[in-house]
Amino acid sequence: MTEPWSTGVVRSADGVVTVGGVDVRVLAETFGTPAYVLDEADLRARARGYRRAFETAFAEIGAGVDVYYAGKAFLSVAVARWVHDEGLRVDTATGGELAVALRAGIPGADIGLHGNNKSDSEIARALEAGVGRLIVDSLVEIDRVADAASAAHPAPVMVRVTTGVHAGGHEYISTAHEDQKFGLSIHAPDGDSPAMQGLLRVLARPELRLLGIHSHIGSQILDPSGFEVAARAVLTLRADLASRTGVLVDEVDLGGGYGIAYLPGEVSLDPDRIAKDIATSVAASAHDLGTPLPRFSIEPGRAIVGPAGLTLYTVGTVKPVRIDDGTIRTYVSVDGGMSDNIRPALYGARYHAEVVGRCSSQESVLARVVGKHCESGDIVVHDVQLPGDVRAGDLLAVAATGAYGRSMASNYNHVPRPPVVAVSDGSSRVLVRRETEDDLLALDQG
């Protein structure tokens, strides 16, 4: 099947779907539902695809590039190893993500640590692990990291800046405009911008080694021009710092945010195309500024893991509901909901679903897939055509749930979180086991 499904999703002549060579009915029987299913070959191919696309395009302009996988999209020990096997490094945003990357055996040098409010213990653990870079997010944090490090072993830092470029699928996930918490702005009505102040402050502290400048402009970006505008702004700041101090920083990170298809007919950004466009544009900017190119890095999360995942649910109650204009909407309740995928409720995100355990010759009906939680906003798929005979016991799959599904899951209504099951070459294994009610009760101290 095509996008938004992972490349390993196939519907056979009898209508039954397999993922990575495994029949979804076998997955449901073996692991229960709901379950997140990750197509390992698809995920690895996307990781490789991004790395190769950027390496090739940037080699053509004479620049190096590193690809960091943004673990916030979904991180487990196995996934950290897969992406590292494919030549990616790992970007973490908290001590918890750092702990997973370290448990996976990722060398500290291949890990980055972000965060706009890092705790002392997160900073200490990152330094102890020898992370390749700490991305500092505020002026006070620069001093905190410097105080925790030593001039004998300076901490490698990048300064996160905001360029004013807004991009992405939803206001909450556009992280570079000014009225928000991340980074240091490159804009200043007069005097040094906060970003310039940050860079100067890092240079003034012998306990810090200034690697470069970081900019992340948003998420689920489908119009790539924002990357180019932001990159030009960052390269300009780099050139300004050089003319001011003589220090031309070695690295520039352009962040993540590459958009994917969620619905049939949508198309994910093509890494080859976007790598080429960004490379051409940064080469032109560096040429205009008269500065040699830095080493670049990017941090895709969603684009690597999103399309590789699907969620398998079992249908329960099916209820026809007459809506205002007289049409019938069929409410199809599944055994999960907003606790395993908060994105529709939080961002109005749209998804696609299909009945995957059988075929049906019935005409389709307008359906809404809803969860089992106690609120009416508990919607999994707003509008989708499902077979008219959709019924209890049917297996339903929702496409492209690999990113920000399990990683944002909750225990709302004391619903245990589903397992993450990997499929590959006809076999399956649990990466993260299903939570149980005992797990939840174990936290309750009575």
User: Which residues are known to be catalytic?
Assistant: 374
Would you say 114 or 417 has its CB closer to ligand LLP?
114
Q: Which is nearer to ligand LLP, 137 or 394 (CB)?
A: 137
> Cα–Cα–Cα angle for 184, 188, 190, nearest 5°?
145
Smallest gap, in angstroms, from Cβ of residue 342 to ligand LLP? 8
Q: Interface with ligand LLP by CB under 6 A: which range of 34-42, 54-62, 213-221, 225-233?
A: 213-221
Let me know if 248 is exposed, middle or buried by CB neighbors in 10 A (0-12, 13-18, 19+): middle
Q: Pick one of 50, 258, 296, 313: the residue that binds ligand LLP (CB under 6 A).
A: 258
Question: What span, in angstroms and rounded, lies between the C-alpha atoms of 334 and 394?
Answer: 10
**DSSP 8-state assignment for residue 268:** P
Residue of the chain from 71, 300, 371, 402 that contacts ligand LLP (CB under 6 A): 300
By CB under 6 A, name the one of 226, 255, 344, 387 that touches ligand LLP: 255
Task: Give 162 or 175: the residue with its C-beta nearer to ligand LLP.
Answer: 175
Is 224 among the residues that bind ligand LLP (CB under 6 A)? no
User: Residues 176, 278, 303, 432: which binds ligand LLP (CB under 6 A)?
Assistant: 303
Q: Does 269 bind ligand LLP (CB under 6 A)?
A: no
Give me 98's structure tokens. 């750092």
Q: Which of 345, 322, 318 is nearest to 334 (CA)?
A: 318
DSSP single-letter state for residue 109:
G
**Residues 299, 340, 354, 394: which binds ligand LLP (CB under 6 A)?**
299
Q: Considering only 13-21, 196-204, 233-241, 298-306, which stretch makes contact with ligand LLP by CB under 6 A? A: 298-306
Among 8, 198, 257, 344, binds ligand LLP (CB under 6 A): 257
CA distance 160 to 113: 12
Is there binding between residue 301 and ligand LLP (CB under 6 A)?
Answer: yes
Query: Considering the rule CB under 6 A, would residue 359 count as an interface residue with ligand LLP?
Result: no
Pair of tokens at residue 151: 């001039």
CA nearest to 241, candidates 133, 166, 158:
158
Does the footprint of ligand LLP cover residue 222 (CB under 6 A)? no
Phi, psi at 114, each rounded to 5° = -100, -175
Q: How far apart are CA 145 and CA 67, in angstroms?
A: 24
Sheet order of strands, 17-19 included = 9-11, 17-19, 22-23
Backbone φ and ψ of 229, nearest 5° = -65, -45
Given the rule CB under 6 A, which residues bind ligand LLP?
A: 70, 72-73, 91, 114, 173, 175, 216, 219-220, 255-258, 299-303, 343, 347, 403-404, 408
